[in-house]
Amino acid sequence: MSSPLALLLQRHSAPSRQLSEPAPDEATLHALLEAAIRVPDHGKLVPFRLILLRDKAKLHFGEQLTAMAIRRDPDLPESNREKERMRYTFAPLVIAVIARVDSNSKIPEIEQKLSAGCVAHNLLLGAYALGYGAQWLTGWAAYDRDVAALLGLAENEHVIGFVHLGTPLIDIPDRDRPVLTDLLSNWSP
């Protein structure tokens, strides 16, 4: 019998370039998203939301980001332009995880952002549990206010990350992991 912790001990990210069709069907995706939003949420603020990028919208998003990158750096090499343009097209589904920060709340901003981060992590865990691959990426687009405007975000909203989701094309080897004893200590007065 496998350990109840096997999912956590085996989960790993699949590089977005190694993700292809199929993505979860609509019913499976709905179930995954329902599970993903079951996160710690101090104050019950629901400080997150999700934006799905699919099909031609992914390429259009990449083309818009490329135009922004060129405006910032007209000498951007062609290879970088193509990388920006295609960045979101490999996985069949990209989920933008958005933090919605309520600055009038007594709940600290970091707790609200961590709650949204838990949604992204649950997407990774859920995708792995369902037999899919996923990768949580950020990059400059996650921190850029022009990109936030492109996504239709309000001033109090921030991209936590883009979760690329699909079926791995290859077996993904695990990476070296930290040694627990190097990270663990006991506090004593």
Q: Give the residues across from 157 on adjacent strands.
A: 100
Instruction: Chunk the chain into consecutive blocks of 10 residues (it has 189) and report each block's average pLDDT, rounded to whole numbers.
Output: 85 95 98 98 97 97 97 95 96 98 97 98 97 97 98 98 97 92 97
Q: Is 38 annotated as a binding residue?
A: yes
- The angle that helices 55-72 and 78-86 make with each other, rounded to 10 degrees, is 150
Record the pTM.
0.95
Q: Is 115 annotated as a binding residue?
A: no
Q: Is 100 annotated as a binding residue?
A: no
Structure letter (DSSP) for residue 158? E
Structure letter (DSSP) for residue 142? G
Q: What is the pLDDT of residue 2?
A: 76
Phi-psi region of 168 (alpha: psi -120 to 50; beta: other; left: phi over 0): beta
The structural domains of the chain, ordered by start, are 15-54+91-169 (3.40.109.10)
Q: Is 121 annotated as a binding residue?
A: no
CA distance 133 to 73: 33
Q: What is the pLDDT of residue 73?
A: 95
